[in-house]
Chains A and B, each alone.
Chain A
Amino acid sequence: MYTGSVELFGETQIHDFNPGISETEVFWTMPIPDRNLQVSLLQATARMQLEHVDVQDDLTLADSLRNYINGITSDPAVVSFDVQWNMPKKGERIRNEELGYDGFFFTSEEPESVHIAWSGINQATGFTFTSDPAETSFNVFAVLGFERNGVIFKLDAPKPE
């Protein structure tokens, strides 16, 4: 959350809700029940809904990263959200040898391609946030698709001569 413009490491950020980084160094990623995600690549749509998810509030992104580096405990928090992708049905196949992934992706910079409604509470301070209705949110950049990476990407990679 920002009191001013939304900028990474911006001076006006006052809250940063995230699940933290796992001990295996996976970034802000957590398992969720299969039923809370619906995807149709044929329709180029997806919906992810979760309620009362335990996360943490690091106040700012920089605090979040520094807290991880320094092993500092963050404020406990809870969030609920409903995010829906409705992407333009024009995709492309991408293969990135350098990063080691490929797949078929719908991408969009259209504001209407994704909408989100969400709320959160910092359980330590009592601060709460409720977003305005989903239709008032806007997408900056979005991706929807199918990909493979790592050893699975390498399965059919050209062999060195």
Chain B
Amino acid sequence: MRNSMWPRRLFRREERSGPYRPCGHTHFWDRAASRRDVLKTIAGGAALGLAAGPWKPAALLAGSGTVAPKPIPAGIEFEGELFHVFPPAPGVEIATIADFVGTIGATAMQGTGVGVDHDGQSMALNFGADMRFMQGHYIGVDGKPHQATFGFI
């Protein structure tokens, strides 16, 4: 059973050769040069101890020395933009970082809980959660091997 939270229509696929073909969207190559420049800048920043820069939020990374990883090349498309992620479902890549080797975990969860507005009014709510982790070694944007633990929240 496919995770019902993620519709298959989102998946980037090539019609002729089956599902989930790892290809970029229409403007991918137009953007490639600038993206390389960005990565180059980030790699330079990492060398200067500024590796926390590329991340949101920076709080956990600050001082951790974690070098930014690269995204998986494929993913889903939304309004013409490629997002480097697949839903947790059979037969697709679970990791979100590229050039990675290590342990992974993922789950698509659902449940219930209580929300409270700023005025104190509470309401019963449902939730869906896509939670993952990746722990191991990866080639960072600096082209060097690193070890780290990542959470997908």
* A contacts, CB < 8 Å to B: 1-9, 14-15, 17-34, 36-37, 39, 41, 46, 48, 50, 53-56, 62, 65-66, 68-69, 79, 81, 83, 85, 94, 96, 98-101, 103, 107, 109, 113-116, 118, 125-132, 136-152
Q: Are A109 and B139 in contact (CB under 8 A)?
A: no
Q: B111 to chain A: which residues have CB within 8 Å?
A: 116, 131-132, 136-138
Given A48-B151, A139-B107, A139-B109, residue A27 in contact with residue B85 (CB < 8 A): yes
Listed residue (A34, A99, A127, A145) with the most chain B CB atoms within 10 angstroms of its CB: A99
Q: Are A142 and B106 in contact (CB under 8 A)?
A: yes
* B contacts, CB < 8 Å to A: 1-7, 10, 18, 20-22, 35, 38-39, 42, 53-57, 59-61, 64, 66, 68-75, 78-79, 81, 83-85, 88-118, 123, 125-135, 139, 141, 148-153
Q: Are A147 and B101 in contact (CB under 8 A)?
A: yes
Given A8-B5, A15-B115, A26-B68; 20 other pairs, CB 8 A cutoff: A4-B126, A8-B6, A8-B10, A23-B42, A23-B68, A27-B75, A28-B152, A31-B151, A37-B135, A50-B153, A53-B57, A56-B57, A65-B81, A81-B153, A116-B107, A127-B117, A131-B112, A140-B108, A145-B104, A149-B100
Listed residue (A15, A55, A101, A113) with the most chain B CB atoms within 10 angstroms of its CB: A101
Nearest Cβ on chain A to B119's Cβ, whole angstroms:
9
Alpha-carbon separation in the docked complex, A137 to B118 (Å): 26
Q: Are A129 and B88 in contact (CB under 8 A)?
A: no
Q: Are B123 and A39 in contact (CB under 8 A)?
A: no
| 7 closest residue pairs by CB, A with B | A137-B111, A126-B118, A150-B99, A54-B57, A131-B113, A148-B101, A20-B56
Alpha-carbon separation in the docked complex, A138 to B1 (Å): 15
Cross-chain pairs A/B with CB under 8 angstroms, 11 sampled:
A23-B38, A24-B42, A24-B71, A26-B71, A29-B150, A100-B22, A116-B107, A131-B112, A143-B94, A149-B72, A150-B72
Alpha-carbon separation in the docked complex, A81 to B111 (Å): 13
Q: Are B7 and A132 in contact (CB under 8 A)?
A: no
